[in-house]
Chain A
């Protein structure tokens, strides 16, 4: 009898979808209520049901877009992390730790500080994408050339690339900024933070997040196969080389959008898939969805703390996720390295 062994969780059950959806709804409400001056549930309800008083408009016109942006960036970070973990076949892989987010940040910094003669709204995502892509390819290449495939080796390669890119970004900021550009703006973005988007910005973010999610979902079967190792994946029909190249492109797009709208936010991409795996099991298609929802919940709550903890100042979002996520990462690392 195998009664003592709990079967692995497998797939998205209705209960789970309801639970995570409810969690997201509650965290959005918390996000709407949170701020310099906390809104009561009654005020929240009034605002959401069409009241046009100044208080209500503060919530619907200012907080709502910001909370939605936080949810979308969180979703991107969550399923982006899931793509990276699947791609690197490593539960410690994360765009931030592996330097991909750092690469996107270098690209974005160039777009913000260098007059390129193209609209910034166009240059920023494209350069962020190029940065994320080159950094990811570089880490994967270093890992492959040096033959390290284990968690620690790959993370070290990622940490080195991230450090180089961080230095490069700081140098660019020092060298290129002048009176016309507020370094404060760039810095607060580097530390991670959701800006309150206008209607156009929010629409763009919605479309990009949706497109990225659909692309990510197409990689589900391939990531499952890749998790068997490259030989088995190949013998089960996966064109491994092409699939990895494709997934790096998709993952870089996800990271670029997340960084362009949310700056550098650490550890959400690590924690969300990890928690998701406990809920829906190791199959990647349900895991991508679960990671997106968990990431959204996490960032909405973290952003609420960012706005409400030290009013009137705002704490950078990246600091909050790093303080909360860093110990989580260390815990996972310790558990993994223990013989």
Chain B
């Protein structure tokens, strides 16, 4: 099983290039972080990686096939996509959501839904209404629904935004664990968490790829400082290089 190949992806919206000739390859395993300042094109790229529609030139290929052209059911079984914002139109429960996520793989063993719910820490909340859940509970329910079918590729768009620090670290650990056997592509904002947990980092700036390397190499390079306009220090911890913003108050 090969990973995702992004080939000359270009998206132009309102005369402005959102993605500008983006090419890179993701291995079939590992946690790949997509970084970049606001408006760099990360979410647009994540959508296309997951096979969501949108006018574009170029292609995202999975094992030689264009993901945009895959039949919906097959794509759903292979690629999980967790969008940045998710609001269901009806007041469903986490259990219903996870069941819908599980239904895309008819071969899942019984009890998968239940264990996914309890793994997400939603055991006591599985039958509550969506409108009564906290932001973190919603995010965890969505993550459980997207991953319950164990897709070979998982694309998540800012999964930690609404999580507290403990759950955010827990989520990064789970993404990294998935990355040992699967491909996970995550749009991230927190450079420190990204350099701590990711295997590779791809940095976008104004629709172009400005870095595509191992997380350690990116953490040590000057690219992140240039792209974000913030000074970073690097910390070596347990064999990995972590980049931390220097935001001391004067």
Contact = CB atoms under 8 A, between A and B. Distances in A.
Interface of A: 1-2, 5, 7-8, 10, 89-90, 221, 224-225, 227-229, 231-232, 234-240, 277, 282-283
B224 to A, nearest CB: 29
Interface in B69-110: 71-73, 75-77, 79-81, 83, 86-93, 96-97, 100-101, 103-104
Given A231-B52, A231-B83, A237 B93 contact: no
Contacts of A2: 124-125, 128
Contact of B50 (A221, A225, A235, A282): A235
Given A7-B127, A228-B88, A229-B86, A235 B146 contact: yes
28 contacts: A1-B124, A2-B124, A5-B128, A7-B93, A7-B127, A8-B93, A10-B93, A221-B103, A227-B88, A227-B89, A228-B88, A229-B88, A229-B89, A231-B52, A232-B83, A234-B72, A235-B75, A235-B79, A235-B80, A235-B146, A236-B100, A236-B103, A237-B72, A237-B75, A238-B76, A239-B73, A282-B90, A283-B96
Nearest to A3: B124
Interface centre among A7, A8, A10, A236 (most CB of B within 10 A): A236
Given A231-B81, A231-B83, A236 B104 contact: yes
A295 to B, nearest CB: 19
Contacts of B76: 234-238
Interface string B114-147: 0000000000110111001000000000000010
A39 B127 CA distance: 48
A332 to B, nearest CB: 15
A151 to B, nearest CB: 10
Nearest to A228: B88
Nearest to A239: B72
Contacts of A8: 91-93, 127-129
A231 B76 CA distance: 11
A5 B96 contact: no
A242 to B, nearest CB: 8
Q: 6 smallest A-B Cβ distances: which pairs? A: A237-B76, A7-B127, A282-B90, A89-B89, A235-B81, A239-B72
A225 B103 CA distance: 10
B132 A5 contact: yes
Interface in B218-246: none
A227 B92 contact: yes
Given A228-B97, A237-B76, A7 B89 contact: no
Nearest to A89: B89
Nearest to A277: B90
Contacts of A1: 124
Nearest to B92: A282
Given A5-B128, A229-B87, A232-B83, A238 B72 contact: yes
Contacts of B51: 234-235
A294 to B, nearest CB: 17
A5 B50 CA distance: 36
B73 A237 contact: yes
A334 B201 CA distance: 49
Contacts of A5: 128-129, 132
Contacts of A10: 93, 96, 127
B101 A236 contact: yes
Nearest to B50: A235
Nearest to B105: A237
A8 B130 CA distance: 9
A259 B52 CA distance: 38
Nearest to B131: A8
Contacts of B127: 7-8, 10
Contacts of A231: 47, 52, 81, 83
Given A235-B50, A282-B91, 12 more contacts: A5-B128, A8-B128, A224-B96, A227-B89, A227-B90, A228-B89, A231-B52, A234-B51, A235-B75, A235-B80, A238-B72, A238-B76
Contacts of A234: 51-53, 72, 76
A282 to B, nearest CB: 4
Nearest to B90: A282
Nearest to A237: B76
B96 to A, nearest CB: 7
Contacts of A225: 100
Contacts of B101: 236
